Structure 1
Amino acid sequence: MSGMVLRLACTTALAAQAVLVPAPAAAAPDPQRPGAGPQRTVSQLLTDLQQLYRQAEKATETYNATAEKLKRQRAAVARLDGELARTRLALQDSRTDVGRLARRQYQSSDDSLGPYVRLLLAPDPQHALDEGHVIGELARAQARTVTRLTATEKQRDILARLARKALDTRLTLAEQQQKQRDDVRKKLADVERLLASLTPAQLAAVAALEQRGVTEAQQKLATSGSLPAGRLASPEGALAVRYAMDQLGKPYQWGAQGPGAYDCSGLTSQAWGHAGRSIPRTSQEQWQRLRRIPLSELRPGDLVVYFPEATHVAMYVGDGKVVEAPRPGASVEVSPLASNPVLGAVRPDQAPVTEAR
């Protein structure tokens, strides 16, 4: 989104590649062509483009969130399947033990005489007592085995129900993910159609208007004292920044987490992952689950989150700038912090650092 239309003259082809769906049969009507309906001002065109990109990125982050849930659900299904398999083996062993103990007790007992009569008639009463003790131990062992068998059967039934439920959830998430993928592609196609409808003069005018808005927003942050100064990165933050900066020039691709392409949260999550800290995958989760900090306390490696719905994220690199994967058709780049409407900032790590003097 930063510098969103500075390269719009070549963005149409790039957007078509990123969308991965056939181009529309007919472009949207040219607003400057007679009979094409009401003409839109440059400001309206910029607003339309920004809204379309924002909708596309929101759909992308929704897709990413479902993809993360699906990944966790696949792991849960595999774990439950493994537990169920082990429980079935334990159940088979318990049943074997029960059968063996039952046969041993049957062979060691004499049902024709009661225990007291056998003891009185035995040539060696002490031997009979010992034998009775052994038989009693066998009976108690059998009782324990039967109890274990019953518990294992219950556990098997519970695990079987959980495994079926987990599989149903996985299938539901997969279907949901497919619908969200289609939604992203549709919204990106809408962007492509609008870009294809603009003349070179319109593209240049929209680019100039956007750049002017970014410059004014950046100056406002600076004069308000919201931009930080002189803060050093933590060791982990420095590693995250280095990784993100090494990705400069790689293309934006929705749902991508590298190494060849990234979307906005794919870049930030991978950068911090390579720094040794796992953070949530999506911009919304990063905003919700990481510690929030004032903009004035930003240090390199911290994340800046944009828009009320937290649908875009970038990494602060210092000097009032961020590194980001901005949008379809663009590449990972360094942009002014105020390239988009700022929601707030979060810090993935808690390592203390010394401020620069």
Structure 2
Amino acid sequence: MLSFVSVVTALALVPMVPGPPGDQLDGKLYAAAERLERVIEDYNEVRDDLRATRREQADLAVRMRPLEQALAARQARIGMMAATEYRNSGAGPVLAVITAESASALADRLLILDLLAAQQREAITALTAARARFDATRRTLDALAAQQTAQEQHLTGQRRQIEKDISDLERLREQTGYRPARGVRGFVPSFSAGRAGAAVRFAYAQLGKRYRFGAEGPDAYDCSGLTSAAWGRAGVALPHNARRQWHSVTRVSRSELRPGDLIFYYSSIHHVAMYVGGGKMIHAPQHGEPVRIDNVNYQPVHGYGRPS
């Protein structure tokens, strides 16, 4: 990670031949922002996994509640049977033999009690086994949630450090007065009918809104947050993660691109944008830069996909 002092020192040592200091700063900013976006997409993935795990934990707790109640009821029933038998037979089985009307009546009575007790024991055994399975699942989910929480915290720490590096670089860029032009200005996509048109219309309405880590609207977005919100408005659910969006869409070729299709960047798939026609796309670029229109070849393209 770059500190403010190390950035200043590094820039002082860079020869001036390759380009002006502003270009050097811009390159460093871009590299830091790309690292940040990788971390953000990893964070989004872990966050979604953790949410799913917590939903499973909640569902398991709901399903365990009637099981615990049934087990307690069965155990109470056996206790009541034992108490009733003791009261009815006085001093217990010996007195029951003495007071029985006949040997066959006693045998019938004991047989019924044995059958009832056996049924209760079988039920308790089955319920106890089910509870053991639930407990094992709960322990697995608890361990998974702890692991995912630790990953989330680790990625949050990485994000904060990279954001600090970017802030240091942006301060240097402000001091140089260098502000490169970004994006394509004046392009208005054609809005078709149907869900794809609704998604493009929504994305276009977000132009100028700021980029924010993990955001999915309405005032700020990250890259996958923008595409999931746009297609969500059109009635198609997409995960808030570029890699998972890639695995949930139908692959199309460059020549088959239609407005509303998604464009995925880098081999690690840590950036996603929406194609809007004319070789252009809308995306939430990176930290410090608003939602804007850029050319499709903004960065190395991994592939194209169509939500459905």
Q: TM-score range by the shorter chain?
A: 0.7 to 0.9
> Quick check: 1:62 aligned with 2:42?
yes
Q: Which runs of 5+ in 1 are unaligned?
A: 1-23, 120-127, 215-229, 350-357
Cα 1:199–1:83 shift into 2, 3 Å: closer
Q: Percent identity?
A: 31
Question: What is the match of residue 290 of structure 1?
Answer: 249
Question: Structure 2: how far apart are the matches of 1:153 and 1:294?
Answer: 56
Question: What is the match of residue 39 of structure 1?
Answer: 15
Letter in 2 for 1:144: Q
Question: What is the match of residue 178 of structure 1?
Answer: 153
Q: CA RMSD in A?
A: 3.4
1:254 maps to which of 191, 196, 213: 213
List structure 1 runs of 4+ shifted beyond 6 angstroms: 113-116, 199-202
8 Å CA contact retained: 2:248, 2:307: no
More divergent stretch after superposition (156-165 vs 314-323): 156-165
Question: What is the match of residue 301 of structure 1?
Answer: 260
More divergent stretch after superposition (58-67 vs 37-46): 37-46
1:330 maps to which of 268, 284, 289: 289
> Quick check: 1:159 aligned with 2:134?
yes
Cα 1:137–1:290 shift into 2, 3 Å: farther
How many Å apart are 1:113 and its aligned residue? 6.6
TM-score (norm 2): 0.81
Letter in 2 for 1:338: N
8 Å CA contact retained: 1:30, 1:197: no
Question: Structure 1: how far apart are the matches of 2:111 and 2:197?
Answer: 70
Q: Which runs of 5+ in 2 are unaligned?
A: 185-189
1:100 maps to which of 69, 72, 80: 80
Cα 1:314–1:137 shift into 2, 3 Å: farther
Within-5 A mapping of 1:130-149 = 132=108, 136=111, 139-149=114-124
2:203 maps to which of 244, 250, 268: 244
TM-score (norm 1): 0.71
Question: What is the match of residue 7 of structure 2?
Answer: 28
Count of residue correspondences: 293
How many Å apart are 1:286 and its aligned residue? 1.5
> Quick check: 1:314 aligned with 2:273?
yes
How many Å apart are 1:31 and its aligned residue? 7.3
More divergent stretch after superposition (156-165 vs 101-110): 101-110
Letter in 2 for 1:162: T
Letter in 2 for 1:39: P
Question: Structure 1: how far apart are the matches of 2:66 and 2:193?
Answer: 45
How many Å apart are 1:39 and its aligned residue? 2.5
Question: What is the match of residue 67 of structure 2?
Answer: 87
Letter in 2 for 1:304: I
Q: Deviations over 1:244-281 (max 9, x none)?
A: 22222211101111122110001111222232222222
